[in-house]
Amino acid sequence: MEITTKELREKYLSYFKGKNHAIIQSASLIPDNDPTVLFTTAGMHPLVPYLLGQKHPQGNRLADVQKCVRTGDIDDVGDATHCTFFEMLGNWSLGDYFKKESISFSYEFLTEVLKIPSEKIAVTVFKGDEDCERDEYSANCWIEKGIKKDNVFYLPKENNWWGPAGITGPCGPDTEIFYIRNQEKCCDECSPACNCGRYVEIWNNVFMEFFKNEDKTYSPLKQKNVDTGMGLERTVAMLNGYESVYDIDVFKPIIDFIKSQSSFTDENEGVKAMRIIADHIRTATFMLGDEKGVTPGNVDQGYILRRLIRRAVRFSRVINMDFANLSKIAEMYIDEYSAYYPELKENHDKIINELNLEIDRFTKTLTQGLKEFEKLLYYIKDKRISGKAAFKLYDTYGFPIEMTQELAKDNGVVVDIEGFEKAFKEHQAISHAGAEQKFKGGLADNSVISSRLHTATHLLNATLKVVLNDNNIQQKGSNITSERLRFDFNFPRPLTKEELQEVEDRINEIIKEDVPVVCKEMPIEEARALGAIGVFANKYGEVVKTYTIGKYSMEMCGGPHANSTGELGKFKIIKEQSSSSGIRRIKAVITGCDNFKE
Ligand code: SER
C-alpha cells in the first residue's frame, strides 16, 4: 500500500482523536524561554511543564504533529536517512492512561490502521536495573496483543530509557517499536540494538515517571505520563518499502527538479548533493517561515540557518545548479506544507527575500574568498595550506572551511585542519571572554538604585506581555545605568499612548502592593519547567537564580534585586521608540524611592 505523508498525518491524528485526545497545534521551532537549546527537537519539548504537573488547557490526552529540527548530525545529511528537519507524530497522557493503554493504542494503530502484520513488528522493553524494575509488564502487554515472544527484546538503559533532554528533567523507561525488514538476522544475538538494518525504529513510547536529579538519582514524578514519538518521514519511507527517506512524496518532486537543473558525473556525489540541498532548503524554509521568525545571522539560530543556506549554495555549485533555483525549491515547499503550517504562506515573502539575500551575500563572499584563495595558492611552498591561513580565509572573508578543503583538493594541496581547529578554538575563547565581560558590565553596578531598576525591568517584561496580550514577547536587550533602565523587546508596532499608560499603571499597582522579591536557586530545567523566563546562555543542569515577584513575574537572572516592589517608588516610562526592525525599546525611570512607603 502506497502511503503519503499527508495520509499518515491524517490517519494518526484521526485515530488519536477517536481515543479522546485533543489535537494540539505544532509549537514554534524556537523553544519558549529555553536558552539551552536552539530548536525544538521532539514533540515533548513544548510539553515539559505539563509533564511535570502543570494543567494543560486542552486536557490530559493530547496528540499532534510537531515540527522539529536536529542539527547534531548535519554532516550525515546526504545519506539515505538523515534530515535536519522532520515532523514528529506524538500522543501524550498527562497523568491519565499508562503502559497498558499506550501499548494497546500503538498496536491497534500499527496493525489495524496501517495494516502492518503483527509478525513484522519487534519491540524492546527496559531490562531493569537499580533505578527501575525490569519491564515485564510492558512485555506481557505486547505478547497479549499478539507480538511474538521472540520479537520482544529486553535492553538496558542506553537503549531503552528516554530523557531527560538535558542533565536533569522528566524521563523514564521506554518501549520502542521496530519494523522487521526482509533481511536475515546478522548473528544469533541480532536485536534492535544492532545496526545491521534488519530492524527499523518507527515509534517510541516513553513511560515518563521519573525526574532525574542533578546528583543522578531519580525521583518519582507527581504523575505518570506517556510521551510517544514517531518520525513521519521515516515511517512513510518504511511503509512504502523505500530504501531512502528522500524517495517519499514530499522530497520526490524536489529531487526530480534539482536533477533537471543540474549536471554531475559522479553519481554518488550527485545524489548526496541533491539530498543535502533538498534537506537544507526545507529546514531553512521552516526556520524563516516560523511564527517566531529566524533570519540568517552570526549567532544562535541565525547562525545555523546561515550555515544551512550556505551549504545548500555550496552543494549547488558541486552539481552545477544555478543558485536561483534554491528559492524555487523553497516555493515548492511552501506550496506543499502550507495546508498544515499556514505560517509558511503568511511568511512567504520573508522566506523568499531572506533566502535570496543570504544567497547574494554568500555569492559575494565566495567571489572575494576565491580571489584570496588564488593568492594563497600562489604563495604556499609545500603544497600545504596552514591552519592559520585557512582560518583567516574563514574569519576575514567568511569562506567556509569545507570550501577551502574542496578547492585545495581540486588544486592538489592539503589543508592543515588541526591547525584550523586550533585557531578556531582560540578565537572562540577570546570572543567568549568578551561576551562574559559584556555580561558582567551590564550588571556591574550593584548599587541600590540599579538593583531596583533591575526589578523594575522584570516587572516591565512581565507587564508588556499582559497589556499587549502577547506571550511571544521576549527580552532582546537590557541596559541599566544609575539613572534609567532600557529594555528592548520584539513587537511589530509602536505602542499606543493608552498601552504605555496601562503598563505604567499596572507596574505602579504592583509597587503599591509591596510584593516581596524572592530569590531561589535551582537547576535551569526546573526553573524553565516552573515557567521562569530568561535569556541565560546556561548549559543543562546548571543552577540558576530565579527571582519571583508574587504572581506577576518569575525570571532567571543573575541579580541583584530589590527586596520588595515597594522599594521602587514610582515607575515612569520616558520613551518608547524603535530599536531595529521588529524590536521596540522602552526607557523608564523610578522616582521617589526612599520616601514612597511613608
Ligand atoms: N521523546 C521521545 C523521542 O523523542 C518520544 O517522543 O523519541
Give pLDDT tens digits for 421-468: 898 888 766 654 443 333 332 333 467 777 889 899 999 999 999 999
Query: What is the rounded average pLDDT of the residues 8-22?
Result: 98
Distance 162 CA to ligand 1 centre (A): 7
> Is residue 598, in this structure, part of any structural domain at all?
no
Domain boundary among 240, 259, 286: 240
The single-letter DSSP state of residue 76 is: G
Confidence at residue 445, expressed as pLDDT on a 0 to 100 scale:
42
Atom of ligand 1 nearest to the CA of 206: 5
A 10 A CB-CB count for 76 gives 11
pLDDT at 2 over 70: yes
Kindly state if the Cβ of 89 falls inside 6 Å of ligand 1.
Answer: no
Contacts of 63 (CB under 8 A, 6+ apart): 12, 13, 16, 17, 21, 22, 23, 24, 89, 90, 91, 92
Confidence at residue 539, expressed as pLDDT on a 0 to 100 scale:
47
| 416 and 323 both lie in a single domain | no
pLDDT at 47 over 70: yes
Residue 564: pLDDT band (50, 70, 90) is confident
Residue 526: pLDDT band (50, 70, 90) is confident
Confidence at residue 518, expressed as pLDDT on a 0 to 100 scale:
85
Distance 204 CA to ligand 1 centre (A): 6
Query: In the chain, pLDDT over 70 holds for what percent of residues?
Result: 93
Pocket test for ligand 1, best of 228, 232, 235 (most atoms within 8 A of CB): 228
Distance 361 CA to ligand 1 centre (A): 38
> Is residue 459, in this structure, part of any structural domain at all?
yes
| 10 and 149 both lie in a single domain | yes
Q: Is 187 helix (H, G, I), strand (E, B) or coil?
A: coil
d(CA 15, CA 26): 18
Contacts of 573 (CB under 8 A, 6+ apart): 500, 503, 504, 586, 587, 588
| 586 and 454 both lie in a single domain | yes
Structural contact between residues 478 and 455, judged by C-beta atoms closer than 8 angstroms: no
Kindly state if the Cβ of 44 falls inside 6 Å of ligand 1.
Answer: yes
> Is residue 373, in this structure, part of any structural domain at all?
no
Question: Which of these ranges, 164-168, 276-280, 286-290, 488-492, has the smallest mean pLDDT?
Answer: 164-168
| 270 and 170 both lie in a single domain | no
Residue 34: pLDDT band (50, 70, 90) is low
| 222 and 264 both lie in a single domain | no
Kindly state if the Cβ of 90 falls inside 6 Å of ligand 1.
Answer: yes
Query: What is the rounded average pLDDT of the residues 509-534?
Result: 82
| 577 and 454 both lie in a single domain | yes
pTM of the entire predicted model: 0.71
Q: How many domains does the chain have?
A: 4
| 465 and 550 both lie in a single domain | yes
| 417 and 472 both lie in a single domain | no
Pocket test for ligand 1, best of 88, 91, 171, 208 (most atoms within 8 A of CB): 88
The domain that contains 536 carries what CATH number?
Answer: 3.30.980.10
> Is residue 470, in this structure, part of any structural domain at all?
yes
Angle between helices 348-379 and 401-410 (to 10 degrees): 50
d(CA 298, CA 515): 40
Domain boundary among 441, 467, 489: 441
Query: What is the rounded average pLDDT of the residues 31-55?
Result: 84
H-assigned helices in 146-296: 157-160, 232-239, 252-260, 267-288
Question: Which of these ranges, 65-74, 89-98, 162-171, has the smallest mean pLDDT?
Answer: 162-171
| 486 and 539 both lie in a single domain | yes
* Mean of all residue pLDDT scores within the chain: 89
Going by alpha carbons, the residue nearest to atom 4 of ligand 1 is: 42
Kindly state if the Cβ of 172 falls inside 6 Å of ligand 1.
Answer: no
Question: Which of these ranges, 35-49, 224-238, 251-265, has the smallest mean pLDDT?
Answer: 35-49
Confidence at residue 293, expressed as pLDDT on a 0 to 100 scale:
84
Structural contact between residues 556 and 544, judged by C-beta atoms closer than 8 angstroms: yes
> Grid coordinates in use for 446?
550593584
Structural contact between residues 208 and 221, judged by C-beta atoms closer than 8 angstroms: yes
| 258 and 110 both lie in a single domain | no
Atom of ligand 1 nearest to the CA of 41: 4
Confidence at residue 218, expressed as pLDDT on a 0 to 100 scale:
94
Residue 556: pLDDT band (50, 70, 90) is confident
d(CA 547, CA 379): 58
Domain coverage including residue 354? 251-368
Q: What is the pLDDT of residues 99-141, one digit of tens each?
A: 999 999 999 999 999 999 999 999 999 999 999 999 999 999 9
Domain boundary among 240, 269, 289: 240
d(CA 340, CA 4): 14
Pocket test for ligand 1, best of 39, 210, 227 (most atoms within 8 A of CB): 227
> Is residue 246, in this structure, part of any structural domain at all?
no
> Is residue 427, in this structure, part of any structural domain at all?
yes
| 417 and 467 both lie in a single domain | no
Query: What is the rounded average pLDDT of the residues 132-158?
Result: 97
Confidence at residue 439, expressed as pLDDT on a 0 to 100 scale:
31
Distance 507 CA to ligand 1 centre (A): 41
Distance 90 CA to ligand 1 centre (A): 8
d(CA 19, CA 29): 27
Pocket test for ligand 1, best of 45, 67, 162 (most atoms within 8 A of CB): 162
Rg (CA), the chain: 27
Q: What is the pLDDT of residues 167-203, one digit of tens each?
A: 778 999 999 999 999 999 999 999 999 988 899 999 9
> Grid coordinates in use for 511?
509597587
Going by alpha carbons, the residue nearest to atom 7 of ligand 1 is: 229
| 172 and 292 both lie in a single domain | no
> Is residue 375, in this structure, part of any structural domain at all?
no
